[in-house]
Amino acid sequence: AWHVAGLMMLTGFLVQGMSGWLEISSSIMFWLMLGVSLSLALSSEGESNSRPQQARYAYMTVAISGVIAAIFISGVMLQKLKAEYWLGQAQYYSKAIFTKTDQYIDRIDKVAREDHYYQDQIGYLYYQRLQQRPAHVTYLKARKYFLRARKLNEYDAFIRFHNISLDARALNLRLIKQPSKEVVADMRAILELDPNSPMVYEVRSHLHLAAGNRNAARQDYMKYLQLVDQSR
């Protein structure tokens, strides 16, 4: 029975690796599959101790598990394919037809609300729109999606870069008077995440300059030039 349970756990990890489902061990589906496998294996031991009988139940359990896993993975991949197609369409229309872009953004948001990558990409679409059509409501939309993406994945530095760049642009456009508290936290966090990355200091210098802090902007930009020179 425990051999079958081990096979089920391996199947679970396979689903996690192929689908990106990080919390598989806490899902109802995983434990249901494991319970079914154990039930079948234990019943097979009670009915007969012969190796052919046990092997038949084990193979049947693995086969059923494989089908369930395949169905689940297919569903996940279908949602990802939809989101990727809609993102491409949103990017295509983003410079010309905002209403069309927003329609695709709504679709992406419905199927990928818990995916940090797509939440970040939606925020970036609004960030790009801010340059074409400066408006505080656009800034707030971009900010909402960046913060949601950051909450879903606190270790993705690029999400924080985008959030910092958003406030820098909003400051330059005079849509806000000072960086948000989240951006101030991001300025510290990106140094901790990757203190030797030139991009960290470049992004920081842009925000300092937009906020009117020329000395801090100069220091970060000099550090950026130093790291770029060292990497050559």
Neighbours of 170 (CB within 10 A): 25
Give the pLDDT confidence score for residue 131 in this predicted structure: 87
Contact by Cβ (8 Å): 161, 190:
yes
> At 21, phi and psi to the nearest 5?
-80, 100
Higher pLDDT: 109 or 19? It is 109
pLDDT band, residue 35 (cuts 50/70/90): low
Predicted confidence (pLDDT) per residue in 138-192, tens digit: 999 999 999 999 999 999 999 999 999 999 999 999 999 999 999 999 999 999 9
Residue 204 has pLDDT above 90, yes or no: yes
> At 197, phi and psi to the nearest 5?
-95, 125
Burial group, residue 156, by CB count within 10 angstroms (0-12, 13-18, 19+): middle
- For 29, 47, 71, 140, the CA distances from 175, given in Å and listed in that order, are 47, 74, 48, 10
Give the pLDDT confidence score for residue 42 in this predicted structure: 54
Predicted confidence (pLDDT) per residue in 84-113, tens digit: 999 999 999 998 899 999 999 999 999 899
Give the pLDDT confidence score for residue 25 in this predicted structure: 47
Residue 71 has pLDDT above 80, yes or no: no
- For 13, 54, 101, 225, the CA distances from 220, given in Å and listed in that order, are 43, 67, 36, 9
Q: For the chain, what's the residue count?
A: 232
What's the whole-number average pLDDT of the chain? 81
Backbone CA torsion sign across 75, 78, 80, 82: negative
> At 114, phi and psi to the nearest 5?
-105, 15
Q: How far apart are CA 11 and CA 53, in angstroms?
A: 22
Q: pTM of whole model > 0.75?
A: no
Predicted confidence (pLDDT) per residue in 113-140, tens digit: 999 999 999 999 999 999 888 999 999 9
Which range scores top for mean pLDDT: 36-40, 81-85, 213-217, 228-232? 213-217
DSSP SS3 for 171:
helix
The two tokens of residue 17 are 């690796």
